[in-house]
Structure 1
Amino acid sequence: MARPWRIQYEGAIYHIMSRGVGRGKIFLTNEDYSRFLEYIEKAREKFGLDIFAFVLMSNHYHMLIRTNEPNLSRTMQWIQTAYSTYYNREHKRCGHLFQGRYKSIVVGEESYLHMLSFYIHLNPLRAGIIEKLSKYKWSSYHDYVSNRKVHKWVNSEAVLDGFGRNKQDSRKEYRKLIWEVSGKEEDFLADVRYGMILGDDKFVGWLQKKFIDRKEKRDEDLPQKKRISDDGVIDRVIEEVIRNYRIEKSTLLQRKRHISFEARDVGMYILKMYTGLKNKTIGEVFGVSLSAVNKAALRVSIQRRKQKGIGERIEKITYSAFKV
């Protein structure tokens, strides 16, 4: 059996999930929830983390974090050991509290942050605990939509950046989009590779090259991916979108506000999700704002789950644009 990957590096972004033994509860009282959040805040200071989002449910929790040093294992061991020690003492129990090792998905692009935050914040709604997200106390949702942050250590700004012209617009847009996504927020999980990577072929190839021992036989389920050159990538994507949709370049790149159609959205989506280009750069190509790029990518993410043809078209365009 192949040795499990230990994917830890400076600046890595992870979606973390852990649940109780036998799906049992890990939070019984308000004090339990509060104490766990205290440990997260302390871990942020102790290990140099960015905490983007979290939700605490009765028998599991989710976090979206960035480690600014390659120290995920030490971080999670400290959090779960500290909380387990408190919980066992407080509730007069012994033994393991969490079911095995935490689950982590390493995230390749910051463009996934908004969808992951939606997924995390919608947990209580999916579970049928509440009907309004504002009614659930134990998540970072309020740090995204309220004028006054509840948890000052939550870096909601990194996710909200580009949603609107200012903080107020960004919060308003986030509230709007999370309800539009509700019921479909799990769709993006289809992009998770091998149960542990959320990213494109280029990112998968980079992880394999960096973290798999070259002396070991490579896992047949994780073939080496070709590296994609960023040289001229914008022109190649634009050219392939034009060819596949049979439209003029002037139509695709017309610089008018509030213009949205599939070819234009797909072009922005591919540049955002497959190239690592910043929203600002993509926006300059299409003559739109940063938030418009985010919205276009979100529309395509949702539609490609509904319409098989869009997904096939995206695959055809990316194959032609990125083949080396």
Structure 2
Amino acid sequence: MPRVGRVILPNYPHHIVQRGHNRQAVFVEQEDYERYLSDLQELKDAFGVKVYAYCLMTNHVHLLLAPDESVAGLSQLMKTLSERMTRYRNRLEGRSGTLWECRFKSSVVQSDAYLLACSRYIELNPVRAKLVCHAAEYPWSSYTQHVGIASRWLDVDPCFDALGGSDEERHERYRGFLNQAASDGEAQLIREALQRGQLTGNARFVEEIERIAGVRIERRGQGRPRLTQEE
């Protein structure tokens, strides 16, 4: 069974990060963030990609995306988003050249165990960076949609639906889940899976993906995030 580089699979969520070239700032003014999100909202349906979570930081973006049967749609979406933002910034600054690193990083995510955990990891980026004290204070992430503060255009995964029987209950359960501190092991697993292009999931999930993709994927110690009735 051959070893694999980056794995992209249909109908599975993927945790994606793309950084500015040489870590340069990509978003400077409010309009920069608004433009990127407007493009993401427009293009996701055009390329058959579901958007479950996002966070736009100054020099990089985190996205939780799931392509449909045509896996090429995910790469096409990222390419088009990058090209549009590059043209916009170059025109604004009277320059030419690249804005982004040429290759985005991605990790296939185990839906039932890690989709909500990845959403939490993504939406807590501004808190970990000490830009805000709480995720609700940061306007450029999906958190406000997940808890009903902002109008929703995100796609809804069954994991989110399962949080409660009504929108209000789901919003409250998700708010509690995000406020609960993630374990160091969970955050490390998500971070390292993304950096190394591995899978975000448990051993059974790794075996499942190996069968589907026909490749050997490196294993590592893995745990499962908890979501109890009290969280």
Number of the residue aligned with 1:286: none
SS across alignment from 1:208: helix
One-letter amino acid of the counterpart of residue 14, structure 1 = H
One-letter amino acid of the counterpart of residue 125, structure 1 = V
1:123-168 superposed Cα distances (whole Å, 9 cap, x missing partner)? 111111111222211111110112x543x32125644322233221
Residue 40 (structure 2) pairs with residue 52 (structure 1)? no
Residue 40 (structure 2) pairs with residue 40 (structure 1)? yes
Number of the residue aligned with 1:295: 228
Q: Is contact 1:53–1:65 with CA below 8 Å preserved after alignment?
A: yes
Number of the residue aligned with 1:171: 171
Structure 1's 188 and 162: CA in aligned 2 closer, same or farther, altered over 3 A?
farther
Match of 1:98 among 92, 100, 112: 100
Structure 2 Cα separation of the partners of residues 191 and 27 of structure 1? 25
1:259-292 superposed Cα distances (whole Å, 9 cap, x missing partner)? xxxxxxxxxxx9xx6xxxxxxxxxxxxxxxxxxx
Structure 1 Cα separation of the partners of residues 212 and 19 of structure 2? 30
Structure 2 Cα separation of the partners of residues 128 and 295 of structure 1? 28
Number of the residue aligned with 1:254: none
Structure 2 Cα separation of the partners of residues 167 and 31 of structure 1? 30
Structure 1 Cα separation of the partners of residues 92 and 77 of structure 2? 23
Number of the residue aligned with 1:264: none
Q: Is contact 2:54–2:142 with CA below 8 Å preserved after alignment?
A: yes
Unaligned runs of 5+ in 1: 214-218, 224-269, 274-292, 300-324
Match of 2:83 among 81, 84, 109: 81
Shift, 1:11, TM fit: 0.6
1:177-221 superposed Cα distances (whole Å, 9 cap, x missing partner)? 2111267562442783954211233332343344357xxxxx6x7
Q: How does 1:266-305 map to 2 (within 5 A)?
A: 294-295=227-228
State the structure with more CA Rg.
1
Normalising by structure 1, we get a TM-score of: 0.61
Structure 2 Cα separation of the partners of residues 8 and 190 of structure 1? 18
One-letter amino acid of the counterpart of residue 76, structure 1 = M
Structure 1's 180 and 63: CA in aligned 2 closer, same or farther, altered over 3 A?
same
Structure 2 Cα separation of the partners of residues 168 and 157 of structure 1? 16
Q: Is contact 1:105–1:196 with CA below 8 Å preserved after alignment?
A: yes
User: Relative CO higher for 1 or 2, CA cutoff 8 Å, sep ≥ 6?
Assistant: 2
Structure 1's 212 and 162: CA in aligned 2 closer, same or farther, altered over 3 A?
closer
SS across alignment from 1:168: helix
Structure 1 Cα separation of the partners of residues 134 and 9 of structure 2? 37
Number of the residue aligned with 1:138: 140
Percent identity over paired residues? 28
Match of 2:118 among 94, 116, 119: 116
Q: How does 1:313-324 map to 2 (within 5 A)?
A: none
Runs ≥4 residues deviating over 6 A: none
SS across alignment from 1:189: helix
SS across alignment from 1:295: coil
Q: Is contact 2:12–2:67 with CA below 8 Å preserved after alignment?
A: yes
1:15-57 superposed Cα distances (whole Å, 9 cap, x missing partner)? 0101111211000111111111111112212111111110101
Number of the residue aligned with 1:186: 187
Q: Is contact 1:5–1:211 with CA below 8 Å preserved after alignment?
A: no
Structure 1 Cα separation of the partners of residues 40 and 86 of structure 2? 13
Number of the residue aligned with 1:31: 31
Q: Is contact 1:121–1:141 with CA below 8 Å preserved after alignment?
A: yes
Structure 2 Cα separation of the partners of residues 97 and 4 of structure 1? 28
Q: Is contact 1:125–1:132 with CA below 8 Å preserved after alignment?
A: yes
Number of the residue aligned with 1:11: 11
Unaligned runs of 5+ in 2: none
Structure 1 Cα separation of the partners of residues 125 and 15 of structure 2? 14
Structure 1's 200 and 115: CA in aligned 2 closer, same or farther, altered over 3 A?
same
Normalising by structure 2, we get a TM-score of: 0.82
1:95-147 superposed Cα distances (whole Å, 9 cap, x missing partner)? 1111230100111333211111110111111111111222211111110112x
CA root-mean-square deviation: 2.9
